[in-house]
Structures are given as structure tokens and as C-alpha cells.
Structure 1
Amino acid sequence: MPFIAPGGLLLANTSHGDASVAALDPRPDLVATVHHRADDYRLDERHLEDYLVPTKPASADANLIRQSGRGIAYTRTACAYVFRFTPGA
């Protein structure tokens, strides 16, 4: 995980496992999803509990994700995910 200052944001997608590893880390909170259609991007802060739920729970292993360099499959996806690192977490 790169250094992120307390209160800082991380924008990540799942292509190389960045969002997958961040989702397994207890320090950041998912604060928004990013959706893309044509040339339009939008942030969504609703129903975040529906995202980053692995289709195969056994695949949610940070070491395996880092080794493969690939993200895992989720039941509901977004183009990218925004995480906030809570101060003191």
C-alpha cells in the first residue's frame, strides 16, 4: 500500500489488484464508486456495501492478489473506487 496521509484519498481500480488489496486493508473506508459511460464519469456514494463483495470469497487474499498482479471478481463492479484513510486508524 502506498503512503497515504491520514484523511487522504486513494483512487484505485481492480485491474492490477490495487482496489482489491485496499478493500482487504482495515484502514481505508470506501467512500465512493466511480462509474464511466462514454465520456461521462460520475461519483456515487450510495449503496457502497454492495461493492467489493468477492464472487469467490477464497480469492480475497491480499498476498495472492499481489502475487498475481490482478484484481479479483466482484458481484457488483465500478470503474474505480475511492477510499479515505481515516486519521488514527
Structure 2
Amino acid sequence: MAIRKKDIIHLYKTYYMDRENEQVDLFQLLKQEFSIVNAVYPGSYVQISPAFVYPQVVFIDADKNAIKFFKDNDRIINLINSRKEYDTIPNITFYGRDYNNPIKELLGLFDLLISQYAGFISSCCKQYLKVGGYLLANDSHGDAGLASIDNDYKLVATIRESNGKYKLSFNDLDKYFIPKQDIAITKEYLYKVGKGLSYTNKASLYVFQRVM
């Protein structure tokens, strides 16, 4: 669906504000618990709400509507300024490209890598995270499952969502990512399936720390 210039901000409101999908509470929770200052969001589409909470955010998406959206920089900055929760000037950058292609100037810079509904970001974009930084992932496309078998990551928390409210838990982490079926979970298998598997216990979202 092509969008006209006058519809740019309307696109954000339709997909995120009107559907209560902004997740501002989620990003606030992560900032408070893990002292997040900056974030990188591959496959972001037009979800600019992390920039309401974090002073520096990099967005990466090859979608043509996302590219058109982020060209309207003045209106985006005005929207962020009207919602931001920090005193500094918003520092946002957008790369209109496939996130599978590395961006050298971003390597090792970020406290938070966001992976939601956009594929296997935990692997190809891991290099953007600082060692000690955090990956926020859901398992819609199997990315949380992939991170769970990656030795560079350690599961440190789960998040449950109910009516737009998010609750963080550090308990019983070893009960997650146990498949219901007797199968060997490998990177190759997850890439082939391309979606989240059936596990004995599930959360809405998972927080991993990059340990290597």
C-alpha cells in the first residue's frame, strides 16, 4: 500500500497509537531495569515509540513505506518531541535497507537490540550490541528460540503482557524453550520452519544478554 506525504504520521497513528501497540510501557520498563540509553531496531517499520523513551535510536527497514515515512524527518521529530521522556534532543537515524547487510559504523554501539515480527534479527544484528547489552525478542518468527541456543546470549528475564501492561520476571528461566515435541532444535531447523515452535512454557517477550 503506497502512502501519500500527508498520510505519513497518520500511518504511525493507525498502526501503533490507534491499536495501542506503541509499547511505551515496555520500553520504560527495560530502561528502568537495565539502564538502557540507546537502541537499534531492525525491521522497525514505522514504530518510532522507542525514541519516546531512549534518547538515541537507530531504525533499519527496507520497506518502501518505512523509507517514505522516515523521509519526513521534521514531522517525526516534532512527534517525538511531543512525547519524549528525556531532556536532550532526540537522536534518531534511519537506514532504508535490508538489515541482513551489516552497517559497519553501528558495530558494538547499543544497549538494546529490538527484535519483533521481523525475522532472525538476533543472529545477523547481534554485532550491533555491546557485550553486556540486551536483546528484546518475541518468538513470532522463531527469533527468541534462536537466541536461546546461541552461546553468545543468556536468557536473563521474561516479560508477560496483559492489556498493554508488561511484567518482568527473573524466575524459573530454565523452564523456557523446552520443546513439546522430541526434536533437536538447531539454527538450521529454525530457519527452515521460520516461526516460533511449541514450547512447554511461553512468555510474551524474552530478554537476553549478550555475554560474548
**1:55 matches 2:177:** no
Contact in 2 for aligned 1:20/1:62 (Cα 8 Å): no
Amino acid at match of 1:38: N
Amino acid at match of 2:144: A
Partner of 2:132, secondary structure, is coil
Match of 2:147 in 1: 22
TM value normalised by structure 2: 0.39
Contact in 2 for aligned 1:60/1:72 (Cα 8 Å): no
Partner of 1:5, secondary structure, is strand
Structure having the higher Rg: 2
Amino acid at match of 1:36: E
Instruction: Map 1:26-41 to 2 at 5 A.
Output: 26-41=151-166
More helix per residue: 2
Q: 1:57 to 1:6 in 2, by over 3 A?
A: farther
| Deviations, residues 26-57 of structure 1 (Å, cap 9, x unaligned) | 12110000101112111101111111111124
| Deviations, residues 1-47 of structure 1 (Å, cap 9, x unaligned) | 02222001001111101101001111211000010111211110111
- After superposing on structure 2, the runs of 4+ consecutive aligned residues of structure 1 that deviate more than 3 Å are none
Match of 1:64 in 2: 189
RMSD: 1.3
Distance of 2:155 and 2:141 partners within structure 1? 18
Gapped runs of 5+ residues in structure 1?
Answer: none
Identity of aligned residues (%): 34
Match of 1:81 in 2: 206
Distance of 2:184 and 2:198 partners within structure 1? 9
Distance of 2:153 and 2:182 partners within structure 1? 20
Amino acid at match of 1:69: G
Gapped runs of 5+ residues in structure 2?
Answer: 1-122
Structure 1 residue 67, shift from structure 2 partner: 2.2
Partner of 2:203, secondary structure, is coil
Partner of 1:31, secondary structure, is strand
Q: Single out whichever of 56-65 and 17-26 deviates more from structure 2.
A: 56-65
